[in-house]
Structure 1
Amino acid sequence: MRMRATLGVVTGALALSAVAVPAAQADEVHGDTTISNVVVNGGKAAVVGATTTKTITVSFTVKDDSGVDWAQAILYHGTDIESSDTGAVANSSDGRATCTVVSATTSNCKSTFDLDPGYNLNNASAGTWKVWAIAAGNDADYVQKDNAKSFLVQRLSKLTVNASPEPVAKGKTITVTGKLTRANWERGTYSGYSTQPVKLQFRKNGTSTYTTLKTIKTNSYGDLRTTVTASADGYFRYRFEGTTTTPAVSATGDFVDVR
């Protein structure tokens, strides 16, 4: 991946910075500099569609008794940054965070990152990512964290439902079909998500709560098909609870008139 080469350039450059910080090693602390309150994408998973680049923000607090000189974060997928298979560097020209002074000892730092399908995202990179972070004080103290925060990068999911026939006589069979798909970052489209448990739910007309009728699994193409007995007017939908790589999603309810 191109991003792996970029990561090597950025982390290597840190060793040549004003503080001689070893690149991409395990956590290191020299002096009293600290990094805390790391928040990625507002605390939510970063859900990315098939083709559109998603920009996320990473914020954190840096403290040092001499004041904060600079800070930087890098996002990566893998056991550690040295063995990462992909990642993202900050959108700033020098890769560093923008730090706002809060007090003589504290700054709030922030960077934005682009997650781009087909560039630094492939299907295998969905799941847990980490934030590598470093910060330095005005007195050359520094802290480096290999995993300052873990977060999820997920493939956007879509779910459909169709209940038929409609209208239908009470006691007759209703067939409910649907399809669960998710972003295929390598092809720039949406592909069926196979062998996943999906709930068939029903909401009686005039009520606001869905009740689970049964759980079935998608086939190898992501398709869903099951039957129920018609009992009352209402809405049928499928509900997928999600995985680490793919967010939860509900289909829009399909109304069936039972006569």
Structure 2
Amino acid sequence: MNRALSRAMWRAALAGGVVAVFTSVTAVPAGAAEGGVAFSRVSVNGGKPIVVGVKEEVEVHATFRMTTTLKYDSGPMVFPYRGKLSNMDTMHSMIIGSDCKVVDRAKGICDFEEWLYIDPRFVDFGNEDAGTWRTAARVFLPHDGLDVDDKNLPLQLKRATRVTVNASPEPVAKGRTITVTGRVTRANWDTHTYQGYAGRTVSLQFKAAGASSYTTVKKSTSSRTGGLKTTVKATVPGTWRWTYYGNSTSGAKSSAGDYVAVR
């Protein structure tokens, strides 16, 4: 398997006008055979939410084990889905899978590695797709058969957030007031832009010069345009940032740090 070659072929298809469809309906073909295949040890994105922006393709790593003595036509895969296994919506633009890493040849046990790609720039991908998905495992068998299973593994698909920060004045006299501003925005998959995220509770954090970690100083609620603003007293030099911890449909994000010298 050559991942680079597979992705290059995919991009060539897109350049040639082939449209990628994320949310597609997959029906079980007539005469499909169920059973005879078991999937286990399924892990998708290390159990972390899948966070997608507006333009950047996201690569999701997955691993799983398949046990079967049946022959199969095309490589097994795992992927997010909604609906029923017999008529599902799926969430991926491309999947590249590894060859079988044999665990027990006699019992037909193989371990697989997979790279699933989600690109938000194409059709049938909108804000309504954020939230909880389930995980399906599937392999195609000869004569239009397949085995598809629900692995009872929820996946969180979230809209990416961005956070900015500016602390001023720089430098500042000890005991004087520092004004910290910023903005929190969220990916809009319908318009392919980032828009102000109103009403969000965002933490203002500080890391003193020489310290290794940030501490939350206070919290602020974003305005209707996503704006953030608060004031603090200057005590020691250090770095300020805003952190948004996300929710069920939006990813967590911290701004870059803004260092303020205190004299």
> For this structure pair, what is the TM-score category when the shorter chain's length is used for normalisation?
0.7 to 0.9
The residue identity in structure 2 corresponding to 1:203 is K
Query: Which runs of structure 2 are paired with 1:46-195 in the superposition (5 Å)?
Result: 46-64=50-68, 66-67=69-70, 69=72, 72-73=76-77, 75-81=79-85, 87-88=91-92, 90-91=94-95, 99-100=99-100, 102=102, 103-104=105-106, 105-118=108-121, 119-135=123-139, 143-195=147-199
Matched, 1:15 2:33: no
TM-score by length of 1: 0.76
* Cα distance in structure 2, aligned partners of 1:187 and 1:149: 30
Matched, 1:30 2:35: yes
* Equivalent residue, structure 1, for 2:248: 244
Q: Does the Cα contact within 8 Å between 1:48 and 1:155 map onto a contact in 2?
A: yes
* Cα distance in structure 2, aligned partners of 1:232 and 1:90: 50
Aligned length: 238
Structure 1 residue 101: Cα displacement: 5.4
Matched, 1:202 2:206: yes
* Equivalent residue, structure 2, for 1:214: 218
* Equivalent residue, structure 2, for 1:24: none
The residue identity in structure 2 corresponding to 1:100 is C
* Equivalent residue, structure 2, for 1:225: 229
Structure 2 regions of 5+ residues with no counterpart?
1-19
The CA deviation string for residues 203-252 of structure 1, in whole angstroms up to 9 with x for no partner, is: 22222222211111212221111111222222111111222322222222
The residue identity in structure 1 corresponding to 2:30 is A
Identity of aligned residues (%): 35
The residue identity in structure 2 corresponding to 1:196 is R
* Equivalent residue, structure 2, for 1:26: none
Structure 1 residue 122: Cα displacement: 1.3
Structure 1 residue 72: Cα displacement: 4.1
Aligned partner of residue 235 in structure 2, secondary structure: coil
Q: Does the Cα contact within 8 Å between 1:205 and 1:233 map onto a contact in 2?
A: yes
The CA deviation string for residues 162-196 of structure 1, in whole angstroms up to 9 with x for no partner, is: 11122222222211101112222222221122211
